[in-house]
Structure 1
């Protein structure tokens, strides 16, 4: 793989994170954090769950750095998590017992299953962040009347699109003989806000 292809992929990673952040109206750091967590999960399955793996995505150039944290100890009991003081001093002369040293690991080649797993982690984190943003946006607006568009009607309950969020008008809270269809504009009272 050429250097230009690698740098293009790195920049593409940042562009994807930026596009998702804009589309979902959430902070780009949350999206990149979700990507880091997903790569970390894939790295743990590749290098072993007993390893303490850290993943960082450089916010400027998109470079992915995967490292394993090793604790400096007198005698090694768990080789995947510990390193002797002598070995640690070779890497970092200032190392002391109790410190942690990062050992850089080679980049991951994602298989199909690892990619699916990473995608699930990213989608879930983005969904949670979007839900939190909606909650924060509407929690102080309880008691207000807002405008919305009927998105769909399910079992008599009306799902309303508020632009940057969704609301549900339950069947028992609607007026009798009130009928809604998809696309109808309605005004509704914010009764409660939940995550």
Structure 2
């Protein structure tokens, strides 16, 4: 190796932000292994790369001892003193043993080490970028589907959309642009691993933040979300400004804002409900679109008994109990729904 190699490391330092010293230290460590492997030696060695010229030197190392038990690793004190009177017990005696053709081995090793370190550094930068985007929304392109997992191209890296994170009945076509929610970013031996979701309630929250300026600005707050992905979502919102209608802000002019989100979610129905600190009012609203006759709450047990008109019972409960289930999850209350005739017969 020569000065051109040192200049190349300096250029890598500028372009990739990887310290020249870090690369040289890694290379020196790798060259020790290369030397031992190629020259079949068990002796201790030190490799030194000249920081200016790029020249590589290999030194064998022996510990100075009183009595030698292993002449590969040790040298007797008397013998060491004949070389240099300053040697003492436990000092390290070094002798240069650089092979003639070691430059070729060094060049091959250097290429491997530098490529590996650049790859590690780039993976580190990608990890740093995406770890800060956990719980955020990201747009990517469907790359491929393998063993039920959809791989999404995010530009610098692929993200995995697992079977449990995919919306029912949604097709993932190669090349289609898609918004997903970043659930987790992990470091692995193969680089950063990003898990994304289309079913997470956080996706709803982020979509509303994108579409509704009042939410983005903090004027309207999302208090809770309950979701059965691909089918229906209920979202409770509250305004921090009495002049701003939170439900109207989320619906948008002629329903444009919420429709944009519904389109992104391939037709998933969204009920937007005004949050209330009054549990009776909140539970009544949460059962929308059903009309409620009366709501009684037990504050200690956090249960509610709701009476609805007979013709509204199936609507209040919903298909397979979905409306009632989502309302209970949204409010955090256990809700018992009965029709007027059922209530009278009790």
The alignment's TM-score, normalised by the length of structure 2, stands at 0.43
1:158 aligns with 2:158: no
- Specify which structure has the higher proportion of strand: 2
Cα deviation, residue 64, structure 1: 1.4
Cα deviation, residue 65, structure 1: 2.0
- SS of 1:83's partner is strand
Alignment of structure 1 residues 146-185 onto 2, 5 Å: 146=138, 150=141, 152-155=143-146, 156-163=149-156, 166-172=157-163, 173-175=165-167, 176-181=170-175
Aligned residues: 182
Alignment of structure 1 residues 1-195 onto 2, 5 Å: 9-18=1-10, 26-110=18-102, 123-124=115-116, 126-146=118-138, 150=141, 152-155=143-146, 156-163=149-156, 166-172=157-163, 173-175=165-167, 176-181=170-175, 187-195=179-187
User: Does structure 1 retain, via aligned residues, the 8 Å contact 2:65–2:89?
Assistant: yes
After the TM superposition, list the runs of 4 or more consecutive aligned residues in structure 1 that deviate by more than 6 angstroms.
111-118
- SS of 2:2's partner is helix
- The equivalent residue for 1:4 is none
Give structure 1 stretches of 5+ with no counterpart.
1-8
How far apart are the structure 2 equivalents of 1:187 and 1:11? 49
Judging changes above 3 Å, is the alpha-carbon distance between structure 1 residues 67 and 141 closer, same or farther for their aligned structure 2 residues? farther
Moved more, 110-119 or 59-68: 110-119
User: CA RMSD for the aligned pairs?
Assistant: 3.5
Cα deviation, residue 96, structure 1: 1.2
Judging changes above 3 Å, is the alpha-carbon distance between structure 1 residues 111 and 160 closer, same or farther for their aligned structure 2 residues? same
How far apart are the structure 1 equivalents of 2:108 and 2:51? 24
Q: Deviations over 1:116-173 (max 9, x none)?
A: 67755655555444434433443343223345x648425252242444xx13132433
User: Does structure 2 retain, via aligned residues, the 8 Å contact 1:66–1:104?
Assistant: yes
Moved more, 124-133 or 30-39: 124-133
- SS of 2:59's partner is strand
- SS of 2:184's partner is coil
Cα deviation, residue 180, structure 1: 3.8
Give structure 2 stretches of 5+ with no counterpart.
188-346
Choose 1 or 2 for highest CA Rg: 2
The alignment's TM-score, normalised by the length of structure 1, stands at 0.69
